[in-house]
Structure 1
Amino acid sequence: MLTVLFLTFFVLLIVNMPIAFALGIAAATTLLVDDTLPINSIVTRAFVGVDSFTLLAIPFFIIAGELMNACGITERIVAFARSLVGHIRGGLAHVSIVSSMFFSGISGSATADASALGSMMIPAMKKNGFDADYAVAVNASSSAMGPIIPPSIMMVIYGSIANVSIAQLFLGGFVPGLMVALGLMGMAYYIARRRNYPAPSRSELPPVIPAFRGAAWALFMPVIILGGIFSGVFTATEAGVVAVAYAALVGTFVYKTLTFKLVGELLVDAAVTTAAAMFLIAMATSFAWLLAWAGFGAAVLDVLGGISTNPTIALLLILIFILILGLFIEGIPILIIFTPVLLPVILGLGIDPVFFGVILVMAVVIGSVTPPVGILTYICCAIAGITISQAFRGLVPFCAVLIAILLLCAVFPVFIMSVPTLLGH
């Protein structure tokens, strides 16, 4: 069964079949060939996969991100980031990274960060004398903070599948997200010095206080969302509704940029994005169910047990496996397929599922940066007008930083679990 399932799936990927259809067709083909289970099992499992109250947070966070972006918050956040770090060597690179960190607290999506900020920062960096490969590498790698810094759509998906506290997952992402930002800024500074990139003086940059006032309404949004979740006022799903209401009020009465026509267009875009995401989740759930039914999880546990019984070594092996998969498969399918398969494995190893969830999201999102499939790199390359091969030289050091921080967090769980433990979640 497993042979047919994987063989069909990878053949379909090779012929460039969209991954959602590849997952569904592979599952259906396996059931037809094996003839052990009824073919309608796929429909049942697909429905079960999306029949979750927790997953309602996804369309609401998507809509909230669309509304806030339409309000012009990207420009305001970038202006505030410029006032803070624009004077450092390689100024616009640091502005891009800090802007991504702030934007991550609003969108919860890496692709949203790459599209919104990349379309603004990459042309600006090229215009100011930065090489295109450097601009792509900085923006693609910094967009990876989107699913790590809360709120995070990927963490919502993992929490729904693993049945663990989304509040704990969000809290666990704070320190790793900050580590990624600092690590990327360090690498950006090092390369900027080697390539002799300039930085404007403080007198050429906007003052901090006025820039903060312009971005304050946008920056306050994650405070409301996370404060409400962590205080127990509302759940992560209800937080999505609050985020939409807040974005609509700010856009209408504060920034005064939202119109009925624009809101209608944004709702259509959000509906299309949500439908695509839910279809992908449904198909990936069917695929994951077949993996579990065929005993793939037990086989993984046996292999890991044969190599080492040390939980840290086993976790590192799992992460290497996920990173390799990320070279060829998009992030959300990996998360949905392997969470139910790996969860019994990590529980058997005595690994905390919240800690594992944050680590898994970090590993999956790195795959969104690394070629040949890395969607974030494709988005940024399209904006910069260069190919993946042309961007490769610039990507390597930044991907190395992301992987180093992932391994550091895997070996020292305190980086992830300190905030949830400190705040009693």
Structure 2
Amino acid sequence: MTAAVDHKSTAGPSDGASPWLTQVDRLLGWLSELPVALLVAAEVVILFTGIVARYVLHAPITWSDELASILFLWLAMLGAVVAFRRGEHMRMTAFVSWASPRARAFLDVFAVAAALCFLLLVILPAGEFAWEELEITTPALQISNMWRAAALPTGLGLMIATALVRLARVGDVRLVAGALAAVAAIAALFTVLQPVLADLGKINLLVFFVVVVAGSVFAGVPIAFAFGLSSFGYLALTTKVPLLVVVGRMDEGMSHLILLSVPLFVFLGLLIEMTGMARAMVAVLANLLGHVRGGLSYVLIGAMYLVSGISGSKAADMAAVAPVLFPEMKNRGAKPGDLVALLAATGAQTETIPPSIVLITIGSVTGVSIAALFTGGLLPGLLLAVMLCLVVRHRYRNEDLSGVRRPTGGELGKSLVVALPALALPFVIRTAVIEGVATATEVSTIGIVYAVAVGLLVYRRFDWRRVVPMLVETAALSGAILFIIGTATGMAWCLTRSGFSTDLAHFMASLPGGSFTFLAVSIVAFIILGSVLEGIPAIVLFGPLLFPIAREMGVHEVQYAMVVILAMGLGLFAPPFGVGFYVASAIGRVNPDEGMRPIMGYLAALLAGLALVAAIPWISTGFL
């Protein structure tokens, strides 16, 4: 996500669940939530201590990165367990929601059964993988790497237990038996067809990575498990590659230390909302622009730009801004559908603004400089903000402001003074990276310490009771994202091994029109992918394949990253399939149907801005 979007399954506990099942579920929650909250806090302490030791005391801690890496894999896996227990792994529910109540209930249980199938298939290879790491010693801490690798079978085992409890708590034996039988029948069918599949060659790519993935995703199976099932099935039934490879690729995908910035920036976003920093920034913008026609809509666009530059999570951004502005905008006569349409459009517009999680993901999987991506993303986001402002100006040209009072200079100055500590945060983060104080991974900890200090000392608003739930929420969202990256990395490896990447490169290179056609095809493809797979899995899957082709075509990698991100943002927030649109509707407490027509004008403006970014490289590369 890109904004990471949660979609909860209804295959949860029934009212008549046995007390012992409830106790087992609570035990699983205790075994995963408390440790993962401690892990997030520990990562903040370790990385910030490393910054202080290196930059202030000039005595670098040689083992800090290694310890952070070990704990990170545990954080990712236990976070995935928490997300699975809460039903918060990303899944596409557009088609499931159209089904009858009975069919929808079946598909929700089927999704859990399919996830259980993958977990059972991969748990033994994960144990074998961890055992093979026993003899490997880490260079700095001089401990067995099994301490790190054990996170994989432990997390998978806890998810198996969670899946069994969730199925047992459904309360409808026939429904659960039917879902399990359906999954078993599909697995048996593919096993029986193994001799046929072995002779199909590259047609198996369509069978497993189009038919299986699409069928699973449309049926509501969480995206991470759909990727994992297709990769495992492809390797097991059509190749002689050891199944250990699936686990190895998952480990590789989830172990990039740069991805540690994902949970840390998510936590920073939650801190900004809790300490009142987001409210202060919005308030000063409202005083500046609230008295002009469409002023609060401009404030919404500007606030999303500012907040997105800090939190890195689109869901957190929208949740921080909407409750502050929507009540007053409704009082001024704005229609709820218009509000949620603009909120969703700003979510798409701010996808390139650092420190976007998608920017970090692109850098980790393609090798593009994250510092360059952070610099290159500011102007495209500003351009799209201007495009949205033009639509706002047209729509609100006749707004009645007779009842709106213009703030005095004193009121404006006071709100600006109050907001200065919050407004300074993006500059603190950017300066720390530019001056070499911290890496892109570490800099989020500076933001966290700054936000805590401002919340305690300046705004005097810091609810200690919310800290642990925020840490758990951070881990759950991050675990869902990182588990997708892990399984998508395995899927991308399968595609590369099959020769698909070479074939794709030849096809894209053979298109007439050179780089122009390549960019046009990429825009269309990633709009579609963004609406179906969401940003992060699409990037992990296709980024390593397409970025080398872009370089061969003469397209600057930073410009291509901006084009890809904005195209995915359009898909993510465009109805009827874009899940981000429904998240915006939920945050705004508005029926999605009311926003579908108003958002079309905003999407047209975003598409025009995207065309300019694709046509003019300087917009993305001018400040590099």
TM-score, normalising length: structure 1: 0.93
1:76 corresponds to: 280
Secondary structure in 2 matching 1:228: helix
Shift of 1:14: 1.4
Task: Determine whether 1:382 maps to 2:586.
Answer: yes
- Within-5 A mapping of 1:319-330: 319-330=523-534
Instruction: Judge conservation of contact 1:217–1:250 (CA < 8 Å) in 2.
Output: yes
Aligned in 2, Cα 1:292/1:224: closer, same or farther, shift over 3 Å? same
Q: Which whole-Å CA distance do the structure 1 matches of 2:344 and 2:386 have between them?
A: 15
- The answer as to whether partners of 1:288 and 1:336 remain within 8 angstroms in 2 is yes
Residues in 2 aligned to 1:93 and 1:285: alpha-carbon distance in whole angstroms: 40
What are the within-5 Å matches in structure 2 for residues 19-418 of structure 1? 19-193=223-397, 196=399, 198=401, 201=404, 203-204=406-407, 207-308=411-512, 310-418=514-622
Distance, in Å, in 2 between the alignment partners of 1:215 and 1:204 is 16
Report the equivalent of 1:3: 206
Q: Hey, what's the Cα distance between the residues in 1 that align with 2:501 and 2:400?
A: 49
- For the 8 Å contact 1:176–1:416, the answer to whether it is kept is yes
Mapped contact 2:224–2:487 kept (Cα < 8 A): yes
Contact 2:274 2:463 in 1 (8 A): no
CA offsets, 1:97-142, max 9 Å, x none? Answer: 1111111121122221122222333344233311122101111111
Where does residue 423 of structure 1 map in the other structure? none
Change in 2 beyond 3 A, CA 1:191/1:205: farther
Q: Per the alignment, in what secondary structure is the counterpart of residue 593 of structure 2?
A: helix
1:357-388 deviation per Cα after TM superposition (whole angstroms, max 9, x unaligned):
22222222222211233233112222444443
- One-letter amino acid of the structure 1 residue matched with residue 611 of structure 2: L
Aligned AA (1:2): L
Q: Deviations over 1:188-243 (max 9, x none)?
A: 1111236x465865625783321111211111111011111123232111111111
- Distance in 2, matches of 1:301 and 1:311, equals 13
Looking at structure 1, the residues matched to 349 and 280 of structure 2 have their Cα atoms a distance apart, in angstroms, of 19
Contact in 2 for aligned 1:326/1:370 (Cα 8 Å): no
Return closer, same or farther for 1:199/1:323 CA change in 2, 3 Å cut-off.
farther
Q: Structure 1: which 4+ aligned runs deviate by more than 4 Å?
A: 196-202
Unaligned runs of 5+ residues in structure 2 are 1-203
Shift in alpha-carbon separation, 1:316–1:64, aligned structure 2, 3 A: same
Give the number of the structure whose alpha-carbon radius of gyration is greater: 2
Bigger relative CO (Cα 8 Å, ≥ 6 apart): 1
> What number of residue pairs does the alignment pair up?
419
Measured in 1, the distance between the counterparts of 2:326 and 2:236 equals 48
Letter in 2 for 1:411: A
**Secondary structure in 2 matching 1:147:** helix
Post-superposition offset of 1:324: 2.0
1: CA distance, partners of 2:474 / 2:222: 20
**CA shift at 1:48, angstroms?**
0.2
8 Å CA contact 2:509–2:553 kept in 1: the answer is: no
Structure 1 stretch displaced more, 357-366 or 39-48: 357-366
Could you tell me whether the CA contact under 8 Å between 2:432 and 2:443 is conserved in 1?
A: yes
Any gaps of 5 or more consecutive residues in structure 1? 421-425
Aligned counterparts of 1:249 and 1:8: Cα–Cα separation in 2: 49
8 Å Cα contact 2:300/2:321 also seen in 1? yes
Q: Is the 8 A contact 2:575 2:581 kept in 1?
A: yes
- Which letter maps to 1:165? S
- Pick which of 385-394 and 213-222 moved more: 385-394
CA deviation string 1:83-107 (max 9, x = no partner): 1221221222111111111111211
Query: Which stretch of the first structure deviates more once superposed, 181-190 or 409-418?
Result: 181-190
* C-alpha separation in 2, matches of 1:237 and 1:411: 32
Structure 2: distance between partners of 1:74 and 1:32: 50
Equivalent AA in structure 1 for residue 205 of structure 2:
L
Structure 1 contact 168–354 (Cα < 8 Å) conserved: yes
Amino acid at match of 1:117: V
Instruction: Report if aligned partners of 1:87, 1:200 keep a CA contact under 8 Å in 2.
Output: no
Q: Secondary structure of the equivalent of 2:585?
A: helix
The aligned amino acid for 1:132 is P
Task: Note the C-alpha offset of 1:309.
Answer: 5.0
CA RMSD of aligned residues (A): 1.9
3-state SS of the aligned residue for 1:193? coil
The one-letter amino acid of 1:305's match is A
Name whichever of 128-137 and 411-420 sits farther off.
128-137
Q: Tell me, in whole angstroms, the C-alpha distance in 1 between the residues paired with 2:501 and 2:372.
A: 25
More deviation in 43-52 or 30-39?
30-39
AA paired with 1:110? K
Change (3 A) 1:396 1:73: same
* Cα contact 1:298–1:345 (8 A) shared by 2: no
Kindly indicate whether the alpha-carbon contact (under 8 Å) linking 1:66 and 1:266 is maintained by their aligned counterparts in 2.
yes
Aligned partner of 2:326: which letter? Answer: I
Q: CA deviation at 1:349?
A: 1.3
Listed one character per residue, the Cα deviations across residues 261-303 of structure 1 (whole Å, up to 9, x for unaligned) are: 2222221211222211211211121122222222232222222
Structure 1 residues 24 and 355: alpha-carbon distance in aligned structure 2, compared to 1, 3 A threshold: same
- Give 1:325 deviation, angstroms: 2.0
- Please give the alpha-carbon distance, in whole angstroms, between the structure 2 residues aligned to 1:64 and 1:76: 16
Query: 1:145·1:180 contact (CA, 8 Å) conserved in 2?
Result: yes
SS in 2 for 1:308: coil
Give 2:222's aligned residue: 18
